[in-house]
């Protein structure tokens, strides 16, 4: 089977409860073709693969798409005055007590 990229010598985390906890595959590999996973699992059970490029993971982890999707609204509103207050020595607690900090971001 042709694949664009192959990651091998990896520890795969499948999160399969049947495997107990994290569902670890010790000698795993992941093969992708045109941006889609065509195989993920134990190297010993993989089909014959012909990759364009390979990456030795050196026993590093590959996990499912666990994404930290939180964000910080850095540019919500204008908090330049808080920057000036900090330069003048005000603490974060003092700025927050005056309604600044995260409270100002939420209001924005």
Domains of the chain, earliest start first? 2-62 (2.30.40.10), 71-108 (no CATH)
Answer for the pair 56, 27: CB distance below 8 angstroms, yes or no: no
**pLDDT per residue as tens digits for the range 23-56:** 889 999 999 999 999 999 999 999 999 999 999 9
Q: What is the pTM of this model?
A: 0.59
**pLDDT per residue as tens digits for the range 55-99:** 999 999 998 776 777 776 666 677 888 889 999 999 989 999 998
């Amino acid at each position: 089977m042709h694949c664009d990229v192959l990651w091998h010598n990896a520890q795969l985390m499948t999160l399969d409860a049947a495997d107990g906890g994290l569902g670890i595959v010790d000698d795993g590999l992941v093969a992708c073709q045109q941006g889609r996973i065509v195989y993920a699992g134990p190297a010993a059970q993989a089909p014959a693969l012909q990759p364009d490029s390979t990456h030795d993971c050196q026993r590093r982890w590959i996990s499912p798409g666990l994404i930290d999707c939180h964000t910080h609204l850095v540019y919500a509103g204008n908090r330049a005055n808080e920057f000036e207050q900090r330069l003048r020595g005000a603490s974060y607690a003092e700025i927050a007590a005056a309604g600044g900090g995260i409270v100002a971001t939420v209001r924005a």
